[in-house]
Structure 1
Amino acid sequence: MQPIISAAELAETTGRTVLLDVRYRLGGPPGHPEYAKGHIPGARYVDLDAELAGPPGAGGRHPLPDPEQFGAAMRRAGVSADSDVVVYDDWNGWGPARAWWLLRWAGHERVRVLDGGLAAWRAAGLPLTTDEPAPGKGDFVPRPGSLPVLDADAAADLARTGLLLDARAPERYRGDIEPIDPVAGHIPGAVNAPTTENVTPDGHFLPAADLTRRFAALGATTAPHVGVYCGSGVSAAHELLALTLAGIPATLYPGSWSEWTTNPSRPVAKG
């Protein structure tokens, strides 16, 4: 199954697909009020902060969720073991990519991201609704660990022996500014690969061949292993999706910079 789906393709499967509306914007506002104003028919809202992440702390701002709580959230959203799931948002695709990665990490392979998000659905002239479906009755049981992850030590090692990509904006990578986390800079040896460069101005992913060329220029096709991090493990999932489209295996560091900087003994690079 391809990791993305077009609006036209999704329209043909509506009614047979579990739809998750994962509206999330860095710094707010909350997504549910926007969902309530209009969403794809049949979609249920999923809260990234509350259902796709654990409480912030030593593990970062968006650590992996408790598997039982994540499973319960997905069952409420209607996800079952045999469900085809499509996730979308109305911003830049970070929230849906987080849900896509988490479901796969928890053992559910049949999940795709709506390419171009809600804007693509609207541009195709497809309908929205304000009707909120009742909670689902899915039977999904997570199998956490179905995808590998990096911890801080493994990320540091990969930056030396393979390729560790930093998916944040260049100014945050360089340490010019840091609007969220307490320390500015990046993991020593990491290479900047902003998530925003994986998509067109209208939010669609670049063609697979273009993504392959982009990551090849950064060394991803020759590195023995590729890892990705960002600020808190959300936009890095979007980069992992782009790498998947490019045919390049990669591993997420879920704690990302927000976990890295909780330990003052960890080194920080700038520039």
Structure 2
Amino acid sequence: MLGCLLSKRTAILPRFLAVRRMSSFGDHCPLVISPAQLRQIQGDGVAVLDATWHMPNVPRNPHKEFIAKHIPGARFLGLDEVASPHDLGLKHMMPSGEVFAKYCGKAGITPSSHVVIYDSHGIFSSPRALFMFRAFGHDRSSILDGGLPAWEAHGGPVEAGEPSEIPETNYPVPTLNEDVIRSYEQIVTNTAFNPDDEPIAELVVDARPRGRYTGAQPEPRPGLSSGHMPFARSLPFTTLLDAHQYTPAGASEPVSYTTIKSNAGLHEALEKAVGPAYAEAVLKGERGAVASCGSGMTAGVIWLALKLMGAERVALYDESWTGYALREGSKIEKGE
């Protein structure tokens, strides 16, 4: 029976494998579950969260979209709200344990809940939310592969309106695992070591589009320089995803969405981006990896991909490029 005792290496199994109903869970749930699996476990100690987030330059409101349509029983997780304030005004930074616990309590989540997170893009912001839960030790958490569009494409029901009220829980304040977060100071120190020469250097992997990494394209945030950190490698998060389309009943236009690639596809994308030697070192735990992006959101996709491939030493640079490039004195490189 496929249940939460699955290890992170079980990504090699087909993700849309039909399974029997999971009526009990171990301490470690799979990182990714399929729509079929979610339908079979709904209502059995499962808390479903919509963590949809849009880029700042996209005129869409994820909470309004949630009210218009969501998976039955789901709660909205505003990643910009369940966050800590930042001295540079950055959004969706990792929350304190108190803020995280308060949200979980209001959402009716307990430490034993299996939290399943989705977004309306397919795979975009949900991995960041999953990273947050795992960083606070809530290992009974997964993302829904393909998100809301895949749920609908596979026959899952949806509902509209405000979710019904549920009793709040007293979620204990957890402790953040500091080993999986990197600060600006740690990144600056790391850029002093060429990973070709220094085995202590962590490999920084950048999820932004390649044009922003090379400096050929501008950042979406006005006035912010594009480019990359010294020795960082480019791994656009889209290269880790497969694209799909489906046409809802009565609709004239198809809906596009993404799912995480197969294990083989993830390996191929990683090796192409960083080279076979670095890929092997990261996956064997011989070298740590740090996922970065524009503001710490799609870095979660790299984190998820590396964890699915079995990497243990994976951290996330919370501020990512925005925090790095905003600071005077940061070394910015252009080109390949």
Under a length normalisation based on structure 1, what TM-score does the superposition of the two structures give?
A: 0.93
Cα distance in 2 for partners of 1:156, 1:55 equals 22
Give matches, 1:6-155, under 5 Å: 6-16=34-44, 17-27=46-56, 28=58, 29-51=60-82, 53-58=83-88, 60-131=90-161, 132-146=163-177, 148=179, 149-155=181-187
What secondary structure is seen at the aligned counterpart in 2 of 1:87? Answer: strand
Corresponding residue to 1:233 among 287, 296, 303: 296
What secondary structure is seen at the aligned counterpart in 2 of 1:94? Answer: coil
Give the C-alpha shift of residue 147 in structure 1: 5.4
Q: Percent identity?
A: 30
Structure-1 residue corresponding to 2:14: none
What secondary structure is seen at the aligned counterpart in 2 of 1:85? Answer: strand
The residue type equivalent to 2:240 in the other structure is: N
1:41-60 CA distances to partner (integer Å, 9 max, x unpaired)? 11011111111x22354373
The residue type equivalent to 2:184 in the other structure is: A
Contact kept, 8 Å, 1:175 with 1:184, in 2: the verdict is: yes
Alignment of 1:196 onto 2:228 = no
Aligned length: 270
Distance 1:22 1:180, change over 3 A: same
Cα distance in 1 for partners of 2:185, 2:122 equals 30
Corresponding residue to 1:246 among 309, 320, 335: 309
What RMSD in Å do the two structures reach over aligned CA positions?
Answer: 1.8
Distance 1:142 1:212, change over 3 A: farther
1:156-191 CA distances to partner (integer Å, 9 max, x unpaired)? 444532311011111111112112162221111100
1:115-165 CA distances to partner (integer Å, 9 max, x unpaired)? 001111001111101141215523322423225211123224445323110
What secondary structure is seen at the aligned counterpart in 2 of 1:58? Answer: coil
What secondary structure is seen at the aligned counterpart in 2 of 1:200? Answer: strand
Contact kept, 8 Å, 1:167 with 1:228, in 2: the verdict is: yes
Structure 2: runs of 5 or more not aligned: 1-28, 194-200, 245-257
Moved more, 24-33 or 139-148: 139-148
Cα distance in 1 for partners of 2:147, 2:206 equals 24
Contact kept, 8 Å, 2:123 with 2:260, in 1: the verdict is: no
Alignment of 1:173 onto 2:213 = yes
Cα distance in 1 for partners of 2:169, 2:148 equals 24
Distance 1:98 1:199, change over 3 A: same
What secondary structure is seen at the aligned counterpart in 1 of 2:205? Answer: strand
Contact kept, 8 Å, 1:216 with 1:222, in 2: the verdict is: no
Contact kept, 8 Å, 1:25 with 1:91, in 2: the verdict is: no
Which of 1 and 2 has greater Rg? 2
Contact kept, 8 Å, 2:121 with 2:146, in 1: the verdict is: no
The residue type equivalent to 1:40 in the other structure is: I
Structure-2 residue corresponding to 1:221: 280
What secondary structure is seen at the aligned counterpart in 1 of 2:259? Answer: coil
Structure 1: runs of 5 or more not aligned: none
Corresponding residue to 1:162 among 196, 202, 223: 202
Distance 1:163 1:110, change over 3 A: same
Structure-2 residue corresponding to 1:3: 31
